[in-house]
Amino acid sequence: MIYDPIKKAGARFYDRSGDGIVDFLALAMVNGGYGDLGSGGAGDQVISNSSAAAIVDGAVASLTQVVNDTRTLTVADTSVNAAPVNVVLKASLSKRCSTANQIGYLVLDSTELGNVLTIGEMKDRAQTLFSTLESSDLTLPADPNFTGFNREILVVNGQSVRFFEVSDGSLDDIQDSSDSRLRFFSLAELSAQQAFLVSTSGVQFQLDVMSSDQGLNALIGQEQGRAAVLDFSTFSGSETVTASLVLAREASFDSITGFYRTLDLQGSVRDALGAILRPGDAGYSEAARFNLVSSLSSLRVGDRQSSKAAISITESSFLAPMAMVNGDTYFAFADASSDKLNHFKVLGTNLFGLEDMRGLGDRDYDDLVIGFSFAQIAPV
């Protein structure tokens, strides 16, 4: 079984130790859907799957342009024909523009290449690649471990990928495909293992076919195409992950930020009495504070300053950011925020940006930037 980015389920393989050998499998299946081979049917809350996980070397996969479509690239390893093999693609931002844009992607099967997706279908299928800061932003320190706007994504052999951006907003803000804020990237240069894509806004990024397996940082950031979270749900709770943490601020307001434990990607939390609360429920903010991670609480830095620190994290759930600013509490889940808006964006792998003004202000998401570079795992 392999990971299907359209179904958002399957098996993903990682080299957590960084020794060049796959040593970890993250498996997600859908009840009554992808990966569920049982006879119980949808809704029985039981997943039955007797298949074996296997990995195939897809290092010789190549990129090709879809005929008469400069927006869409097909990823294929012809040496294994139609075999369901995962290929890792790495996107790296090379040029920003004057606005803060969300960059996302859509994965398409071969039967969908001629289809025009509606906005509703795009919202259902799209995942965030990264979000850009304005080109004038000078907040981040000159450290490639933290300033790299990059992400690794998985596609299945034979699938195609298309990239888009939304200027000074997100896809959630778009109601009509004619909205000028929504643009698709076009292919500028292409070779078998590398592509360069550009938008009319001036944003440019590079796409590379990776020959190595994904590592520890990709594992912890594996769900950031869907939510602004650190994924520690695959850890046992008896493992400590060491990391470097960088904070950078370009704002007058003093924000106090932390990360709290959630049960899922929708932001559900368990309160002090054991009840499960969801964003928007009464008492959610208090429950989030109850679940704050001690090593990731009270994070703050001075205006026009940055800081860097070594930290250790021993957790086994999703960790989501929250910020307290001027009496308001903001979350990455809109329904939980004081103004019912999402105040955090995923800028790159394990890199988050905060918009600290009620109503989202100028929507530049550089008021506080939080970046992680995870190093190694050790037993507790």
237 Ramachandran zone, left/alpha/beta (phi>0; psi -120 to 50): left
**Are 124 and 251 part of one and the same domain?**
no
**Are 97 and 199 part of one and the same domain?**
yes
Distance CA 322, CA 299 (A): 10
| Domain-embedded: residue 326 | yes
Of residues 283 and 367, more confidence is placed in: 283
Of residues 269 and 39, more confidence is placed in: 269
Return all residues near 162 (Cβ < 8 A) that are at least 6 apart: 71, 72, 73, 105, 106, 108, 184
Question: Is 75:102 a contact under the CB 8 Å cutoff?
Answer: no
What pLDDT, on a 0 to 100 scale, did the predictor assign at position 292? 97
**Are 98 and 108 part of one and the same domain?**
yes
- Asked whether the predicted pLDDT for residue 91 surpasses 80, the reply is yes
The residue out of 30, 55, 80 marking a domain boundary is: 55
- Asked whether the predicted pLDDT for residue 31 surpasses 70, the reply is no
Amino acid at 185: F
Of residues 250 and 139, more confidence is placed in: 250
Looking up residue 362, the CATH number of its domain turns out to be 2.60.120
**Are 154 and 282 part of one and the same domain?**
no
What pLDDT, on a 0 to 100 scale, did the predictor assign at position 36? 57
Task: Give the percent of the chain with pLDDT over 90.
Answer: 57
What pLDDT, on a 0 to 100 scale, did the predictor assign at position 278? 98
Least confident of 30-34, 196-200, 203-207: 30-34
- Asked whether the predicted pLDDT for residue 163 surpasses 60, the reply is yes
**Are 19 and 71 part of one and the same domain?**
no
- pLDDT confidence bin for 303, thresholds 50/70/90: confident
Question: Is 221:349 a contact under the CB 8 Å cutoff?
Answer: yes
Query: Which pTM value belongs to this model?
Result: 0.83
**Are 291 and 361 part of one and the same domain?**
yes
Tokens in use for 329? Answer: 């509490």
**Are 203 and 235 part of one and the same domain?**
no
Mean confidence (pLDDT) of the chain: 87
- Asked whether the predicted pLDDT for residue 57 surpasses 80, the reply is no
Q: How many CB atoms lie within 10 A of CB 214?
A: 24
Report phi then psi at 249, rounded to 5: -130, 140
- The number of folded domains in the chain is 3
User: What's the rounded mean pLDDT across residues 305-318?
Assistant: 93
- Asked whether the predicted pLDDT for residue 66 surpasses 70, the reply is yes
- Asked whether the predicted pLDDT for residue 56 surpasses 80, the reply is no
Q: Tokens 């299907």: give the residue.
A: 4
Distance CA 166, CA 184 (A): 9
**Are 82 and 178 part of one and the same domain?**
yes
Return all residues near 108 (Cβ < 8 A) that are at least 6 apart: 6, 72, 115, 159, 160, 161, 162
- pLDDT confidence bin for 258, thresholds 50/70/90: very high
- Asked whether the predicted pLDDT for residue 30 surpasses 80, the reply is no
User: What's the rounded mean pLDDT across residues 59-63?
Assistant: 81
Of residues 46 and 269, more confidence is placed in: 269
| Residue 376 Cα distances to 18, 148, 208, 212, 313, angstroms | 9, 20, 25, 18, 11
Domain with 278 in it:
228-379
Return all residues near 5 (Cβ < 8 A) that are at least 6 apart: 107, 127, 153, 154, 155, 156, 159
Q: 181-190, pLDDT tens digit by residue? A: 999 999 999 9
- pLDDT confidence bin for 41, thresholds 50/70/90: low
Q: 330-355, pLDDT tens digit by residue? A: 999 999 999 999 999 998 899 999 99
**Are 251 and 364 part of one and the same domain?**
yes
- Asked whether the predicted pLDDT for residue 135 surpasses 90, the reply is no
What pLDDT, on a 0 to 100 scale, did the predictor assign at position 138? 56
- pLDDT confidence bin for 23, thresholds 50/70/90: confident
Q: How far is CA 270 from the centre of its chain?
A: 24
**Are 177 and 291 part of one and the same domain?**
no
The residue out of 183, 212, 241 marking a domain boundary is: 212
The residue out of 187, 212, 237 marking a domain boundary is: 212
**Are 167 and 271 part of one and the same domain?**
no
What pLDDT, on a 0 to 100 scale, did the predictor assign at position 90? 94
**Are 67 and 130 part of one and the same domain?**
yes
What pLDDT, on a 0 to 100 scale, did the predictor assign at position 38? 58
